[in-house]
């Protein structure tokens, strides 16, 4: 088992569910359930750490990154999030350079709370900004405005957070190029270290999907979305950001190390309702709904709804797809480390042939392997369908 691991902790609660959201999140949950969830989360964390320690033959499993996400983690008491990090410190052997990330939303954490979180040891904060256009925030069902974004960033800086990510979404109904450029300019004025910019994905069953079906809004055309993506490059590159993964931009030294574990197809532990783990060649998922998760933990500890042993070729395929999401691409060394021995001699000619079947300038060789070009990343979903063995 490659170490150190990454640890993801899921907080599934939100103050209000956004119109586009298809994540495992729940709004307006009674306080009693939240209190039970906090106790269960700690019990799950302790049991998982103990199990890992036994398998590894160590007192505390080494840990390189922590990501507390959701949902909105700060929908739980700040005091609990502080205690949660203390639990992690006691159960795992934290790397001296451990990246300890926490998600929140503007307007849902105050200056005093941010100070307490930073003093506890969280050193990376991710804020769900999504847009700086009031009309688009309303369309998305966000509860914050531009003022809350600016206040949250200022408070985070005062608290000592030097590693700040801001999430954005583009390709929204009614969004114009000028809207997007105003948002990009405004976000850059806040001087974050990292920006995650996601193209809108309309998920079935969400309020946004329902409104689109009713004809209340229309999505931008493919050409319009491409113009938004070009603006993203035009604004972020001169500002010193590196496009290191399809949806992620970071200043030098500020790529999200936890997410890099996923893209390297490395191993990680997920704790909490709906959390996914990938350990020892197995991928397994906990029960989604907090009430079912609690009942299972309190009854017999059988938390899992899915468990899959990845075959050698499936593992290789995932390694290739995840690696090509990165700007630098995938190296032969990485591929060969994850490939069955019989496949290793065939990897280079197979990728050479695949590249030759694609339009020129999408999948290109590097001195160490292969990577997608900018145009290739734009068409990545179509290219990835060619990578099934």
Percentage of the chain exceeding pLDDT 70: 99
Lowest-confidence range among 115-119, 193-197, 337-341?
A: 337-341
326-355 pLDDT, tens per residue? Answer: 888 999 988 888 888 888 888 888 888 888
Domain with CATH 1.10.10 in the chain: 316-387
Do the Cβ atoms of 67 and 34 come closer than 8 Å? no
Q: What is the pLDDT of residue 197?
A: 97
pTM of the model: 0.89
Confidence band of 388 (pLDDT split at 50, 70, 90): low
Phi-psi region of 249 (alpha: psi -120 to 50; beta: other; left: phi over 0): beta
CA distance 230 to 225: 9
Q: What is the pLDDT of residue 21?
A: 87
Domain with CATH 3.80.30.20 in the chain: 5-263
For residues 220-241, average pLDDT = 95
Options 1.10.760.10, 3.80.30.20, 3.40.640.10, 1.10.3720.10; CATH for 5-263 is 3.80.30.20
| Structure tokens, 296 | 């299972």
31-80 pLDDT, tens per residue? Answer: 999 999 999 999 999 999 999 999 989 999 999 999 999 999 999 999 99
Residue 129: what are its φ and ψ, rounded to 5°?
-80, -50
- Return the higher-pLDDT residue of 39 and 374: 39
Do the Cβ atoms of 322 and 264 come closer than 8 Å? yes
The answer on pLDDT for 360 being more than 90 is no
Q: What is the pLDDT of residue 264?
A: 85
| Structure tokens, 182 | 């105003």
- The class (CATH top level) of 316-387 is mainly alpha
| 3-class secondary structure per residue, 91-121 | HCEEEEEEEEEEEECCCCCCHHHHHHHHHHC
CA Rg, the chain, in Å? 21
For residues 374-385, average pLDDT = 81
| Structure tokens, 106 | 């503007």
Tell me how far CA of residue 369 lies from CA of 161, 172, 264, 315, in angstroms. 36, 35, 14, 18
First-last CA distance in the chain: 25
152-192 pLDDT, tens per residue? Answer: 999 999 999 999 999 999 999 999 999 999 999 999 999 99
């Amino acid at each position: 088992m490659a170490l150190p691991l990454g640890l993801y902790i899921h907080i599934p609660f939100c103050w209000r569910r956004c119109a586009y959201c298809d994540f495992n999140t729940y709004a307006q949950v009674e306080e009693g359930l939240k209190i039970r969830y906090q106790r269960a989360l700690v019990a799950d964390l302790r049991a998982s750490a103990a199990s890992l320690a036994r398998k590894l033959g160590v007192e505390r499993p080494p840990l390189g990154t922590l990501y507390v996400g959701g949902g909105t983690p700060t929908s739980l008491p700040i005091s609990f999030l502080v205690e949660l990090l203390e639990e992690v410190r006691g159960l795992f052997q934290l790397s001296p350079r451990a990246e300890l990330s926490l998600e929140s939303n503007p307007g849902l954490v105050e200056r005093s709370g941010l100070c307490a979180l930073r003093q506890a040891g969280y050193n990376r904060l991710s804020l769900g900004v999504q847009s700086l256009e009031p009309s688009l925030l309303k369309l998305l069902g966000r509860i914050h405005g531009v003022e809350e974004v600016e206040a949250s960033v200022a408070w985070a800086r005062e608290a000592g957070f030097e590693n700040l990510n801001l999430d954005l979404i583009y390709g929204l109904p009614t969004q114009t190029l000028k809207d997007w450029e105003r948002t990009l300019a405004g976000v850059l004025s806040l001087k974050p270290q990292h920006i995650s910019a996601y193209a809108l994905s309309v998920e079935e069953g969400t309020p946004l999907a329902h409104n689109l079906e009713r004809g209340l809004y229309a999505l931008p055309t493919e050409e319009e979305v491409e113009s938004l993506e070009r603006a993203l490059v035009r604004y972020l590159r001169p500002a010193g950001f590196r496009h290191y993964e399809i949806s992620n931009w970071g200043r030098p030294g500020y790529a999200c190390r936890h997410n890099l574990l996923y893209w390297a197809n490395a191993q990680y532990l997920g704790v909490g309702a709906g959390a996914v783990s990938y350990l020892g060649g197995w991928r397994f998922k906990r029960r989604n709904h907090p009430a079912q998760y609690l009942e299972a933990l309190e009854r017999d500890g059988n938390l899992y709804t899915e468990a899959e042993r990845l075959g050698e070729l499936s593992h290789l395929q995932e390694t290739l797809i995840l690696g090509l999401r990165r700007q630098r691409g995938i190296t032969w060394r990485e591929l060969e480390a994850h490939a069955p021995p019989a496949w290793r001699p065939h990897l280079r000619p197979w990728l050479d042939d695949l590249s030759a079947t694609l339009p020129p300038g999408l999948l290109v060789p590097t001195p160490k392997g292969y990577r997608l070009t900018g145009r290739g990343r734009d068409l990545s979903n179509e290219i990835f369908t060619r990578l099934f063995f």
